Amino acid sequence: MPTVFTHIIEGRIPGTFVWKDERCVAFMTINPIAEGHVLVVPRDEVDHWVDLSPESSAHLFDVAHVIGRAQMTAFACERIGLIVAGYEVPHTHLHVIPTASMADLSFANAAATVERAALEAAATRIRAALRSAGRDEASD
C-alpha cells in the first residue's frame, strides 16, 4: 500500500515542493518544528533509512546539504538541524530544519496545523535561494 509520501510525490495529495529530481523530492512538512522545515524523501518507498542503498543515502544527504544551505540564506538562522527519525511515516525521510538552538529540534514543538499560505511563503524563499545558487532542481 503506498505511503502518504508516495501519494504526495505522485500528486494525489497536495504538497509544497522545493526540490524535484529523478531520485528524490523535498517538500514542506505540514507539521513544522520551525519555519522552513523541509522533508527530503526518496521516490522509492524504503521504510528504514539504513535499508537505502549507499548511493541513495548519499544522494539524500547531498540534497539535504544543498537545501540546508538555501535555508541558511532564506531564514538567516544560526544552524540547520537534520533529523532522521522514521517513526511518523514508513517511508524514509530527512527532516531539514532551520534552528536557533537545540530546543528548536523537539518534535514536541511541531505545529498541529499550518496555513497553506505560510508553507508557500517559506517554500518561495527556499526556492529563490536554491535558484540563486544555480540549482535547477528547485521546484514550484
At residue 104, does pLDDT exceed 90? no
In a domain, 139, yes or no: no
What is the tens place of the pLDDT at every residue in 19-58? Answer: 999 999 999 999 999 999 999 999 999 999 999 999 999 9
Structural domain of 117: 4-132
Within-domain flag for 138: no
Query: No. of H helices and E strands in the chain?
Result: 3, 5
Q: For residue 44, what is its C-alpha cell? A: 522509492
CA atoms of 35 and 2, how far apart (whole Å): 28
Domain contains 126? yes
Residue 70 lies in a domain: yes
Cα of 103 vs its chain's centroid, Å? 19
How many domains would you assign to the chain?
Answer: 1
Q: Residue 30 is part of a domain; what is its CATH number?
A: 3.30.428.10
Residue 140 lies in a domain: no
Contact (CB, 8 A) for 137 and 121: no
